Structure 1
Amino acid sequence: MTAPALLPLAASLGDPAGVGPELFVEAWTRRAEEGLVPFFAVGGAMVLAEAAAIRGIEAPVERITDPAQAAEVFARALPVLDLPGTKGADGSYKPGQPDRAGAELALASLTEAARLAVSGQAGAVVTGPIAKSRLAEVGFDHPGQTEFVAAASGVAPQDAVMMLAGPNLRAVPLTVHIALAEVPAALSAALIQRRCTIVAAAMRRDFGLSNPRLALAALNPHAGEDGRFGDEEARIIAPAVAALQAAGLAVTGPHPADAMFAPHARGDYDVALCMYHDQALIPLKALDFDNGVNVTLGLPIIRTSPDHGTAFGIAGKRLAHPGATIAALRMAGECAARRTMTA
């Protein structure tokens, strides 16, 4: 039986004043050497054309009216899907100068890209970096794009798990955008068990790991030093590990976080699960800053994003590195291919 054809990926523009547009056009120029599957941008045709010109690269833009047209166009131009109600050449390119119109375009692009993935017209959604404060001004009421895409997919926000992935490390923060002082109270054995189960299932389905190895970081220095520096390890983390192991998952921990990211230790696991945001993101960005991908696990669709922000300060100056955008597109294509083969 022939596997169904891979659907093109939908790329949401991100804030048009940031580095997203120039990095998507740069990625298109490297499509062959990087082995990227066909993708199309959602809205912002004029923005993308001007971004290519300012970046000094040859990247023709061609407007399409249906995602099904993207694969044929992709070989000769970056396909850009007209947003509903626009004429295609929407948006103005003012790098480093975010404004309300740009936020409106970013939100419209994100909304339509997510809709296309959920409706089965796109193989995945790859989101460009946004400015959350700007989007809030135009009605965006989610903590971030992860929660937005989860809601669009019909998934509860607590079941959408953020994983940061690079060539050297995959890391999941079990708590994300909360104050460090709030982390101990937010942790529970049930939370750890639920997130680990979601991560393990995603590693099997989307990353081809039949028996993924998960390593849980400790919360406290030296994994609590037998209770001298805190009891969360004994009271919360260790019972969760025991329950997960009893369920048949390859989970270890709690490991002292100051040692588990050393080169010799990283070979012992496939994913590090960390207790708070910076515990996961500091090692990931230290090891894989220019190639880090933010991927949302636990969704019925595939969503990836470059693991960096809008970088307004360097937008339009030919300084932004395309590695993370290329990696996000490549990962989305690889995950989509695995789902297509097993459909």
Structure 2
Amino acid sequence: MSSRASAPTPPPSSPDTGALPMVQPAPSGSSPQGLALGLSAYVIWGLVLPLYVTALAPAGAVEIVVVRIGFSLLFCLVLLAVLRRLGELREALRTPSRWGATALASGLIAVNWLLYALSVVSGNVLQASLGYFMNPLVNVLLGVLLLGERLRRAQWAAVTLAAVAVLGMTVALGAVPWLSLGLAFSFGLYGLVKKRLPTPGHPVTGMTAETLVLTPVFVVGTVLLHGAGQLTTLTEGAGHFWLMAASGVLTAGPLILFSAAARHLSLTTLGLMQYVAPLGQFLVAVLVLGEHMAPARWAGFALIWASLALFTLDQARQARLRRRARRALTGSQAHA
């Protein structure tokens, strides 16, 4: 690989999901149906989920994650039965290597869920937004650090701008944005595990397997929370219970919408759409929840947005070059 070889385009990320979609998008173009499905998924992740988690008060972040595991597993098992894919679940966990890969993915996504819940219940949705804006850049950085991939100059510039943004906000605000960094790196590592290790490819099967592996966390967590008098799911009335139960649908629903959208959209379109979710979180934080945007925070977000613009333009340019190369190769073969 040459010194300017690029890391492969990271797959579009799906914030706060239980599985990274492994889909076969259309090679080019997009359709109104695909756009509607994809936007629906990202609007749920960006606008609905932060408001939903806020509505779960007085439940704490740990309870939200513990209960989410239980209801997500129940919903996914029913969904797999309807789809007649329960056999895939057995196959997904058939060998120790698959168990290990799924357990690692489960641990990373559980950390991601917990950090997201902590961001919302502590009034730091802006940190969640920043973390998911950083995610594509973190994916590229992980490729360099863990896979030995090399970046083009534009990609290095984008990653450097993001690092300057984080450093600047840390100095100006007097605190490292740990929630943002934790969300970005936990989801980036989760995506890496899903891409490189033998985990289930179908999103619902993968999510079911991961929540199944997390069942001990659900059982132990429920017992401990109940013993400490902190299990609000059963003590705050029927309305609160059903809100908590909806976590299963809100975990699987957007993922299914995204997977359906990916069949009709190009990778370029999906890559651009992934910014809808953190943008939605940003708008909810500032306009609905009233989080304060200090000048240093505005500057940090502006640098992150600039780095993403540079990164996205570079990716689009490389995609055009690859399409031209394929057309040229096809033309030369046709005349051979």
Whether TM exceeds 0.5 here: the answer is no
Question: TM-score, normalised on structure 1?
Answer: 0.25
Q: TM-score, normalised by structure 2?
A: 0.26
**Which structure features the higher share of strand residues?**
1
